[in-house]
Amino acid sequence: MSERKVLNKYYPPDFDPSKIPKLKLPKDRQYVVRLMAPFNMRCKTCGEYIYKGKKFNARKETVQNEVYLGLPIFRFYIKCTRCLAEITFKTDPENTDYVMEHGATRNFQAEKLLEEQEKQIQKEREDEELNNPMKILENRTKDSKMEMEVLENLQELKELNQRQANVDFEGMLLEYQKYEEDRKRKQEEDDEREMKSMLESAHTKRILEDSDSDEEPLKPPCKLKPKVPPKPTDILNEQNTDRPNKKLKPESWEKSVGKLTGNPHLSGLVVKKAQTKKADSSNLSKSDSVQKDCPTRLVTEIQNSMALPASAVLSSAAQVQKASAVCNSSLSLLGAYSDSEGSNSD
C-alpha cells in the first residue's frame, strides 16, 4: 500500500513529457485574489468613499498589448461596498503606483495632476529648443523679464507693508536693551539677597553652637570616691546610745534575796558597806575604760598597718594580738572579782 503524502514520484524509463497534453487556457483569463484598496477613492455612482487599506475579493487579469520594459500590466475589478458598482484600476510600473481606470475618482490627486502637467510642459519646451536655436533665445528673454517683474512686485509689497506698519525699529532695539539691563540687574539683586540669607543663616547657626557650648561646659569625668570602711568603734557607739533604753541587768544577790527597797521587812538584814561601793565603782570604771580602749587600739593598729609595708604589718598584727590578750585577761579578772563579791555577800 502506498503512502498518502508522496513527495517522490515514479517516472518510468519511457516517460516523454512532450506527449503530455497541455491545457489551452485563454490569455485574458481572470483569477480571484484578495487585495486592499491601494488609494482613497470615491464611487461615481453613489458617492461612497472607499479608503485606502479596505479589503476586497477582486478579479485579476493581464492587460493585453500593454507592457513596460517586459513587465506585464495587471487590471483589477472590485465592487462598491454600497451600490455594488464595478470599479477598475491597473498597475503603473513606470511610476511604481496604480492608475484609476473606471467607476470611481481618486482622492487627493490634484497635486499629482499638477506635477504631471508641469512635466509635460517642460518636455514640450525641451523638444522645441532642440531643433530651433531662436526659440532658446526667446525663452531666455521671457525668463529674465519674468524674474524682473517678480522682484519689482516683491519690492512694492515690502514698501507697502512698511507704510502701513509704521514700526520704529530703533525704538524696538532700545526697549530690548532696557529689558536686558533690567533682567540682569534683577538677577544680580536676587543673587545678592540669596547670598546674604545664606550668610545670616550660617552666622546664626554658629552663634547657637557657641551659646550651647558656653551653657553646657564639658564636665570632667567624675571620679568614684573610694568606699571608706566603717569604723569598728561605730558599733560601740550605737551600743552606748542603746544602753539607756535597756533595763539594767540585776545583780546575783538581788536574784536570791531581792532588792533592798522591794521588801521593808528584810531591809534590816543586809547592811551595805561604803568601801565596797567605792571599790566596785572604781573597778567598773577601770573595766569600762579598758573595754573602750581595746577597740580603739585595734582600729589604730589596723589603720597603721594599711599604710605600712608587709614587715611592719606583721609586727603590728603581733602587737594587736598582745593587746587583745591583755583585754581578755583584764575582763576575766573582773568577772572573777565580781563572783568573789557575790559569794562574800551570800
Write down the residue that cell numbers 496604480 correspond to: 98
Cell of 212: 550651647
Average pLDDT for runs of 10 along the chain of length 346: 74 91 84 94 94 95 91 95 94 91 88 85 87 86 92 90 74 90 93 91 83 58 55 62 52 55 52 52 51 49 49 53 56 55 49
Among 87, 94, 110, residue whose Cα is nearest residue 38? 87
Report the C-alpha gap between 167 and 173 in whole angstroms: 11
Among 54, 87, 96, 91, residue whose Cα is nearest residue 75? 91
pLDDT at 2 (0 to 100): 62
CB 99 within 8 A of CB 74: no
Among 55, 93, 52, 43, residue whose Cα is nearest residue 72? 93
Cell of 230: 566603717
Q: State the sign of the Cα–Cα–Cα–Cα dihedral 306, 312, 313, 319.
A: negative
b vs e for 15-54, b when ≥16 Cβ sit within 10 Å of the residue's Cβ?
eeeeeeeeeeeeeeeeeeeeeebebbbebeeeeeebeeee
CB 89 within 8 A of CB 49: no
**Whole-prediction pTM:** 0.35
Report the C-alpha gap between 188 and 195 in whole angstroms: 11
pLDDT at 299 (0 to 100): 46
Q: State the sign of the Cα–Cα–Cα–Cα dihedral 5, 8, 10, 16.
A: positive
pLDDT at 67 (0 to 100): 92
CB 40 within 8 A of CB 107: yes
pLDDT at 316 (0 to 100): 53
pLDDT at 69 (0 to 100): 92
Cell of 252: 546575783
